[in-house]
Amino acid sequence: MKKLALTLVAVMLIALTGAMAGDVGGRSFYTEDTSPAIRVKNIDPGGREVNIVVGAGDAETNLVVVGGRGAAGSYTNTLNWSAGTFTIADTVTSLVSAVNSDGRHVLQVDYDCALAADSTDDELLDGTVETLRPGEWGEACLWDTSVALFYSAYSPGGFAGGTQARRRLRHLYGNVGGTGSTTVNVYIDGTEVFERVYVSPLYILDTNDGTNTSTVTRADDVGPAQVDILYDLQVGASDNVLVRFSRATTGTTGGAGFLFDIQQ
């Protein structure tokens, strides 16, 4: 009987160890002005370095240089994003048009770190420079938090240069500076799967002008919103996960993130 009990304990420990080994923790966290708007992969058939230079979301001169900036034999694509109203979808179309000197395309794009309809007129961070070696993924465009008014965290799936395993989202968190209400959204491959709104408190400001006459005004909360949501969502190995915290009025400093288990 004692031998049987020890055997059962050993089997249970092996099973428990196997379950624990299958779940590896991970996290995605981005502070202000670091969240990716568009990710790209260097697929140049010639195996050369690709440089991406974003002047601004509404600039006439944005560059995709194949072969290294200033290098002999390099080829430069000049992309004009100044005409009309530009969105993520428009910027993606422009980026994938970049070619090498042989006329062959050099960029593969992942834009599930944003929404296709997001405006990029002035919301992209000016002066972003990204250098990609052959086969390498990178973040071609970043969000300017104070203009875009949101903070994002992103975890790409296996087809977009991320983890090649299933994940389970566990916790959404952040310190979201700005004013106005805060909206929390979760998207899988661009499709919304979760939303929660935190309504900003309003304060009454009583200002006495010295004549015993008071002026009463309302003001939005100017402190950072604290986001702390226990969450449980299974996502596939190829799923791209975007978490976004939006402020209604202004965005300043802070960050957005989420924790997840990687399931082998």
What would you report as the CA-atom Rg of the chain, rounded to the nearest whole angstrom? 24
- Indicate whether 22 pLDDT > 60: no
CA distance 154 to 209: 49
DSSP H/E element including 215: strand 214-220
The tens digit of pLDDT for each residue in 25-70 reads 689 999 999 999 999 999 999 999 999 999 887 888 999 999 977 7
The tens digit of pLDDT for each residue in 190-248 reads 999 999 998 876 555 555 556 655 555 555 565 678 899 999 999 999 999 999 999 99
Both structure tokens of 205: 């400001």
Distances 138 to 19, 92, 130, 149, 177 between C-alpha atoms, Å: 33, 14, 7, 23, 27
The partner residues of 113 in beta bridges, in order of sequence, read none
- Indicate whether 10 pLDDT > 70: no
Query: Residue 138 burial by CB count (10 A; 0-12/13-18/19+): exposed, middle or buried?
Result: middle
Both structure tokens of 164: 């090649």
Residue length of the chain: 264
Closest-CA residue to 263 (of 154, 158, 193, 191): 158
84, 123 in Cβ contact below 8 A?
no
Q: If DSSP states are collapsed to H, E and C, what string results for 65-120?
A: EECCCCCCCCEEEEECCCCCCCEHHHHHHHHHCCECCCCCECEEEECCCCCCCCEC
Q: What is the pTM for the complete model shown?
A: 0.82
The position carrying tokens 């970049």 is: 98
The tens digit of pLDDT for each residue in 149-195 reads 999 999 999 999 988 889 999 999 999 999 888 999 999 999 999 99
Q: What does residue 96 show for φ and ψ, rounded to 5 degrees?
A: -70, -10
- Mean pLDDT of the region 14-33: 60
Going by pLDDT thresholds of 50, 70 and 90, the confidence category of residue 9 is very low
Closest-CA residue to 24 (of 174, 153, 170, 231): 170
The domain locations on the chain are 25-263
- Indicate whether 138 pLDDT > 90: yes
Q: What is the pLDDT of residue 136?
A: 96
Q: What is the pLDDT of residue 220?
A: 57
Q: Which pairs from 201-208 meet CB under 8 Å and 24+ separation?
A: none
- Indicate whether 3 pLDDT > 80: no
> How is residue 2 annotated by DSSP?
H
Q: How many CB atoms are located within 10 Å of the residue 240 CB? A: 23
Going by pLDDT thresholds of 50, 70 and 90, the confidence category of residue 18 is very low
